[in-house]
Structure 1
Amino acid sequence: MTEEVKQSPVGVRDAGPEDAEFLLDMLLEAVNWTGEERVSRKQLLRDKQLAHYVAGWQRDGDLGVIAVDLGGPGGLQIPVGAAWLRRFNQSARGHGYIADDIPELSMGVVPAHRGRGIGRGLLRTIASRAQDAGIRAISLSVEKDNPAIALYTSAGFRTVAVGNDDTNAQTMLLDLLTWTQPEPRQS
């Protein structure tokens, strides 16, 4: 006999300066997407090209959302995922850098909460908020074997560059000038 576990509802709220540690946790999940610890927290913090995705959060122009489990004890909202945008420039590029005026997306979901549509909801929400803020496009970098590519593609991202580094990561772009929010998937 299989016991069905009831899942708590999930909401989304804006990310604030108090969420910097959680964003770091989610960046670590994104970097270690295979499930093995390829990069430790200490290594991530020492790697300037990775750490700059969260260092000094929330600076002017940063935009982020946090998915929260609404079923915590006493109404406590427990963070279970995050998506955030940050602009970089030519001298301090992100892995998915395209231009100074195109922010780069970072996103992660706590492993125990994956497969519930949380990533899809975060992606829709952050893209909508970016569009409302007048941002024309967002970019991201994703390794070629990461299953999240299917999520990004279904949301309207297209591949604009493929890297030649060890990860063979690709840079993807979502044009927010033509983007329309996809309908939520039915379960």
Structure 2
Amino acid sequence: MDSTMEGYFKNLESPDKELQYEAFTAIQSTLMEPVDWAYEVWDKLKTQLADPGNHQRSRAAQFLCGLAISDPEGRILQDLPALLEVTRDKRFVTARHALQSVWRIALAGQKHKQQVLHELAGRYAECAGEGNGTLLRFDIIESLRKLYEAAPDEEVRQLALSLIEAEEDLKYRKKYAAVWKK
């Protein structure tokens, strides 16, 4: 990893919130393409999924999702249960940030996509009884839309439409459907 990236990861620990945010956004933008340093940070990020600090948990989940395209060993599939646990985090904003990033794992290959679709469909059903479940469901529908836009696949569209159709509350069914009418 070059010194610039090392500096960004170091700055995530800075007491300066602006410096942390700048580092976070720089790392996120780097993860839009494959990187050759994924395994240099992987184990630390995996450990941070259970960190006492919600910012560390959130960032670790988001970064690991982004690193999936840089993971030829397929580690993300073994680490997926720990990552998905963050989507159930006691801090709602942390859970949402993790959930909103999971779709990126599907960009790593067909096996990854199948697992992500399975997990998102399961999470959609499971979150119905949770506080803010409708917001989590919206995030899942929106994530499927982002995946579809990044890598068009009729299976993704059909899953989203079937989840929307299964929504019993007409108000939310319309809200979710609007994501797919854009």
With structure 2 as the length reference, what TM-score do the two structures score? 0.32
Higher relative contact order (CA 8 A, sep 6+): 1
**Which of the pair is proportionally richer in helix?**
2
With structure 1 as the length reference, what TM-score do the two structures score? 0.31
**Which of the pair is proportionally richer in strand?**
1
